[in-house]
Amino acid sequence: MTASDSIITLELGHYRLRERIGGSAYGVIWRAEGPRGTRDVALKLINEAQMARALPAQRERWIASAENEITFLQLLEPWDERHIVRLLDSGWHNGLPVLALELLDCDLGRHMKTLRGRGEALPQERLLGWMSQLNQALAKVHQYGWRYLDLKPANVLVDTLLGNVKLADFGTNRRLDARSEHSYAGTANWQAPEQFFPAAGGGYATGRQSDYFALGALFYFLATGGTQLRYCGECGQAYRDHPTGGADMLLRQHGGLPPTLHADEETLFMRAFGSTGPAADAALRLLRQMLAPEPGARPRHAIDISRQLAGIAGPVALPAPDASTQHWWSAQAGLAHTNWHSGAEA
C-alpha cells in the first residue's frame, strides 16, 4: 500500500510521495519529489486497493492501459509535447506500471470552477487559443495512429503561468487502423453517440471524428463558463443508473438518439461571442458540425477545425502549429480531399 513519504524507484531515479492530488476508477496521482535538483512530478500509479478487488480480466485491462500510455508517450518527440503532457520517467512498483509526468497547476474542470466562483468568464482570446491547442494535441494523437477517446476537462491540464493547456491520460487510446468495433471505453458524459450507443454487433465503432465530438462538447463547456451539454449529462446519468443498459434506456425514452444540441444551448453558447455577428455565427457553425450526431457530418480533419477557429478569431492571433503538425495537417487535408471525391472516409 502506497502512503505519504513512500519511495518509488523508477528507471531514472527515486521519487518520494508527498500528497495525493487526483485519481480515477483505477489510477492514483501523487505529487512526488524527484531526484535532487529536479522539480516535483505527478506520479501516476494503479490503485492497488482497487486492483485487489478487481476481476482478473479487469486487472489485465488496467495494466494494459498504463503500458499503452507509457508506449504512446515514449514515442513522442520533444516538439510533440507542446500541448501533450511530458513523460519524465517510468517503471514498475509492486508489480504494477508507474508513470512520472510533468506537474501542472490544475485540470481544466477545476480551473473553470475557480473562474465561475469568482464570477469571471474565460476571455474569448483564451477560449479560442485553448481550443486551438487541444485541436493540435488531438492532431498529434491521430498523427501517431491513435484515437484518444477520453477528452474531458479532467484530462486537460492547465499551466496558469503560461496560459496554456496540455492533454493528459492516454490509457484509453485505440489504434486508428483497428477498424473492428471495440469494447466500451472512455467517460460516459463526454462521448460521441457512437462511443456511448453500441452498434448492432454490440461493440463501439469509433474514429477520429469521435474525438472531434468531444472537442465540440468541450467547446460548449468553455464558452458557457463550465456548463455541460444536456446530451452529455443525460448519457452520464444513464450510465450511472444503469451501467450496462443505460444506452438502451435513453433510446427508448427519446424514441431514438437524444438531441446532441438544443436551441437554448445554442443561444447560451453564442453569448461568449457577442450573441450576433460574424464571430458568433462562425462559432455556432463549428459547434454544430462537431456535435453532429453522425460522424460523417463532423469535420474531417484537424486543419478544417483550425481554419474555422481562425475565422472566429478574426484579428485575434491563434498559436501556430509546429512544423511537423502543420505538415501532417496539410497531408491530411489532401487525403481528405481525395477520399471525399472517391467516396471513402478520411
Number of domains in the chain: 2
For residues 299 and 308, what is the distance between their CA atoms, to the nearest angstrom?
A: 10
pLDDT digits (tens, 9 = 90+) for 172-222: 888 888 878 888 889 999 999 999 999 888 889 999 999 999 999 999 999
Same domain, yes or no, for 154 and 253? yes
Asked if residue 78 belongs to a domain, the reply is: yes
The range of the structural domain enclosing residue 51 comes to 14-102
Same domain, yes or no, for 57 and 189? no
Q: Which residue type, as a one-letter code, is found at position 72?
A: F
Asked if residue 93 belongs to a domain, the reply is: yes
Same domain, yes or no, for 149 and 239? yes
pLDDT digits (tens, 9 = 90+) for 66-121: 999 999 999 999 888 899 999 999 999 999 999 999 999 999 999 999 999 999 99
For residues 230 and 215, what is the distance between their CA atoms, to the nearest angstrom?
A: 16
pLDDT digits (tens, 9 = 90+) for 124-147: 999 999 999 999 999 999 999 999
Same domain, yes or no, for 179 and 257? yes
Same domain, yes or no, for 229 and 160? yes
| 3-state SS assignment for residue 78 | helix
In contact, 134 and 155? CB cutoff 8 Å: no
Same domain, yes or no, for 43 and 175? no
Q: Which residue type, as a one-letter code, is found at position 257?
A: L
